[in-house]
Amino acid sequence: MKAGKASRQDEDGATLHNFGTLLGELSTQTRNVCRIGEGESAVAVTILTTPTPFQAKALHLLKTACSQRR
């Protein structure tokens, strides 16, 4: 069975996304920066949320596509 726009799923059953829904899925990954202390002695701690399996796959595909263009 071929994937098509009407099915909204690929042959493995995964949901297909357009650019808008892809951005929506990726937008839930966040980076939080917490600052502890004041002035010169302040320390910043950056915490990234763990990507969902979909986000991890999408980011991997984007990195692969970008590295092939160089």
Each residue's pLDDT tens digit, 14-67: 888 899 999 999 999 999 999 999 999 999 999 999 999 999 999 998 899 888
Nearest to 31 by CA among 52, 42, 45, 21: 45
Instruction: For the full predicted model, state whether its pTM sits above 0.75.
Output: no
pLDDT score of 27: 93
pLDDT score of 7: 60
- Please tell me what DSSP assigns to residue 15: B
Q: Three-state DSSP class for 36?
A: strand
Give yes or no for a contact between 3 and 9, defined as CB atoms under 8 angstroms apart. yes
